[in-house]
Amino acid sequence: MNIIDGKALSLEIKETIRQRIAGLTAEGKRKPCLAMILVGSNPASRSYLRGKGNAAAFTGMDSRLVELPETAGNAELLQEIARLNADDGVDGILVQLPLPSHIDENLVLDAILPSKDVDGFHPINVAGLWMGRPCFVPCTPQGIIHMIESTGQPIEGKRAVVVGRSKIVGRPVSKLLLDRNATVTTAHSRTADLGAVTRDADILVVATGHAGLITADMVKPGAIVIDVGINRTADGRLTGDVDFDSVSQVAGWISPVPGGVGPMTIAYLIKNTLRAYELSAEGR
Ligand code: NAD
């Protein structure tokens, strides 16, 4: 069994970006800039944003954190987004999810300029992914594909099973696997006999938010297993959706939690922001 080390892979990506930004600076050009909006003070959201800000800093990219109070309404948030949309010094905009329940998430995500939508959640970018047009692709799915490709195994012709059908992970990663000519099954909470489906998978991606859902008897020997889940145990540790101890005895490759998909998601956020910069008038 081989571990897919997301931390090491993410460091390689960030190092390449760091060198690119050092080159821009040497040419006297503006650095790319990522703006992040946080509404309220959810501790998990704050910790994710800290990770994103640190990754930006590592690469030499500028980042801005815009904080709005928990009580902020749709209008305040839309006003902030409009300000960042119009700011030529900002290349990428992300609104940290989840938003407080009184905010209309669709209204907010639709307001971000598609050319600055580095999370890839705007309908124009979602349509681009499904129609095979140039677009910003969500970060976690891109990170997952990079991890699968890092094994050196071809994706084409393989049976891939994605457990989870969310808009941000399950659906887009299913499409990216399809684009690479895997035969893809998307399983979910209503799938009958999940084990029978997952046992067929040469490539198994699990994104459900259920700790330990996938056990060794559900995995084909030698399979590539990517664990997207982030769950907190009673004693405060992070754990995935895959029972690592048993599945690692069967799988050919497996990604750990923490140190797997999480750092890759952040690396691709930074990569998307650099791309937004390069596509902007200034970056060309
Ligand atoms: P979600 O809650 O939006 O969707 C969960 C999906 O899992 C649903 O489609 C549901 O049908 C499926 N599901 C739930 N229970 C199931 C079961 N028992 N059997 C089969 N399918 C089941 O979740 P999400 O936003 O896709 O996130 C999934 C997990 O991945 C969460 O733990 C989340 O924290 C984590 N996540 C991690 C990263 C990262 O960067 N590492 C990024 C996004 C999400």
Q: What's the pLDDT score for residue 283?
A: 60
> Is 214 domain-assigned?
yes
- Span 50-66, mean pLDDT? 98
- Span 67-82, mean pLDDT? 98
In short, whether 6's Cβ falls inside 6 Å of ligand 1 is: no
Same domain (yes/no): 92, 191? no
- φ, ψ of residue 222 to 5 degrees: the values are 90, 0
Q: What's the pLDDT score for residue 160?
A: 99
High-pLDDT (> 90) share of the chain, % = 98
> Is 161 domain-assigned?
yes
Evaluate if residue 281 carries a pLDDT over 90: no
**Tell me: the pLDDT tens digits for 238-255?**
999 999 999 999 999 999
Same domain (yes/no): 243, 145? yes
User: Exactly one of 14, 31, 91, 96 is catalytic; which is it?
Assistant: 96
Same domain (yes/no): 249, 189? yes
Give the integer Cα–Cα distance in Å for 227 and 240.
6
The sign one gets for the Cα dihedral 248, 174, 49, 5 is positive
The CATH number of the domain holding residue 219 is 3.40.50.720
In short, whether 210's Cβ falls inside 6 Å of ligand 1 is: yes
Residue 282: pLDDT band with limits 50, 70, 90: low
Look at residues 113, 129, 162 and tell me which one is the last residue of a structural domain.
113
Q: Is 235 an annotated catalytic residue?
A: no
Look at residues 113, 131, 160 and tell me which one is the last residue of a structural domain.
113
Evaluate if residue 40 carries a pLDDT over 90: yes
> Is 132 domain-assigned?
no
- Span 190-207, mean pLDDT? 98
Query: What b-and-e string marks burial along 54-87, b requiring 16 or more CB atoms within 10 Å of the CB?
Result: ebbebbbbbbbebebeeebeeeebbebbeebeee
- Which atom belonging to ligand 1 lies closest to the Cα atom of 260? 41
- Span 124-131, mean pLDDT? 98
> Is 4 domain-assigned?
no
- Span 182-189, mean pLDDT? 99
- Domain range holding 49? 28-113
Residue 284: pLDDT band with limits 50, 70, 90: low
Same domain (yes/no): 160, 108? no
Could you tell me the distance, in angstroms and rounded to a whole number, from the CA of residue 9 to the centre of ligand 1? Answer: 23
Same domain (yes/no): 161, 251? yes
Residue 78: pLDDT band with limits 50, 70, 90: very high
High-pLDDT (> 70) share of the chain, % = 99
Q: Is 96 an annotated catalytic residue?
A: yes
Could you tell me the distance, in angstroms and rounded to a whole number, from the CA of residue 270 to the centre of ligand 1? Answer: 23
- Span 260-264, mean pLDDT? 98
CA nearest to 227, candidates 259, 187, 250? 259
- φ, ψ of residue 216 to 5 degrees: the values are -55, -35
The CATH number of the domain holding residue 56 is 3.40.50.10860
CA nearest to 230, candidates 176, 266, 194? 266
- φ, ψ of residue 206 to 5 degrees: the values are -120, 120
Residue 72: pLDDT band with limits 50, 70, 90: very high
- Span 193-218, mean pLDDT? 98
